[in-house]
Structure 1
Amino acid sequence: MMESLETGLGWLFLSAFTSATLLPGSSEVLLGVMAKQEQWSMASLLLWATLGNTLGSMTTWWLGWLATFKKKPEDFQGSGEQKALGWLKLHGHWCLLLAWTPVIGDGLCLLAGWLRLSFWRSLVLIGLGKLLRYALVFLLARQIF
């Protein structure tokens, strides 16, 4: 029984991590299913989902940091990248609260690394945004389904 509980949290962590990278993932669905099963505490589910997703985004931040040796953010022509760059330049670190959003969130994290925004401030804001999103998913899963 304990092994299956730990395995479930491991899969949640892995799903959350891959969901925060360019790889596909469905961590919200998995979190919702696990929340409804009521085998895990809210704190455990939110901890592992947020940790995995935040580490995935910080991996993207780190890749952006490394990429500055090859290319500058201004060199990108894609509309998503340019929009994320504009938001980051206008609002700074606070945009990273939106790192959980589909499509644009990855760009925000990548460009935050490229712009060499503070690692620790980025970590805190990305993690906070992701925690709030997962808390909402958890609460909705328990209430609606």
Structure 2
Amino acid sequence: MSVYVGLFLTSFFAATLLPAYSEILFGGLLIQGYDPLALWLWASTGNTLGSAVNWALARFFLRYKDRRWFPFRETKLARAQQWFQRYGVWSLLMAWAPIGGDALTFVAGLMRVRFWLFLVLVAIGKGTRYAVVLWLVFAAQQTAA
């Protein structure tokens, strides 16, 4: 059970501001033979809830955006806002992207996207990402065998 909690926490922090690489841990645990569905659920849930932290930060801490410690620089926010203005809430399906994805979840909070809509779209994107990683690991194992 502690392996799954560790994956959850790594995935959670990977979606926030802390540097963490949950895909590497996820893939390693798959290779070690842990239950793929359980790994997918724990990783997807942790990563989605970590993104919810970004949404909440934007909703409640925007007044600090000029502070040095603020998590997103103006350029990242501007790029994410462009995506958001162009594609609307559907851009949240790209929240899994390694570059700009976290900023999108932050911008969703700025734009006051309804939380439940935010959560559903982000969960779809994050779940799809881990499903792709799962498929890639299994495909690589089949090729190596």
* TM-score bracket for the superposition, by shorter chain length: 0.7 to 0.9
User: What is the aligned length?
Assistant: 136
Contact 1:67/1:114, CA 8 A, preserved across alignment: no
What are the Cα deviations for residues 23-61 of structure 1, in whole angstroms up to 9, with x where unaligned?
011110011011112222x22111100000000000110
Amino acid at match of 1:28: E
Q: How do residues 1-145 of structure 1 correspond to structure 2 at under 5 angstroms?
A: 6-40=1-35, 42-69=36-63, 78-145=74-141
Counterpart of 1:116 in 2: which secondary structure? coil
Q: CA separation in 2, counterparts of 1:69 and 1:29? A: 35
Amino acid at match of 2:21: S
Which residue is 1:3 aligned to? Answer: none
Q: CA separation in 2, counterparts of 1:90 and 1:123? A: 20
Amino acid at match of 1:50: S
Q: In 2 relative to 1, CA 144–92 (structure 1 residues): closer, same or farther, beyond 3 Å?
A: same
User: How does the TM-score come out when normalised to structure 1?
Assistant: 0.87
Q: In 2 relative to 1, CA 129–116 (structure 1 residues): closer, same or farther, beyond 3 Å?
A: same
Amino acid at match of 2:119: L
Runs of 4+ in 1 over 6 A off after TM superposition: none
Contact 1:66/1:114, CA 8 A, preserved across alignment: no
Q: In 2 relative to 1, CA 25–77 (structure 1 residues): closer, same or farther, beyond 3 Å?
A: closer
For structure 2, the 5+ residue unaligned runs are: 66-71
User: How does the TM-score come out when normalised to structure 2?
Assistant: 0.87
Amino acid at match of 2:78: Q
Q: CA RMSD in A?
A: 1.8
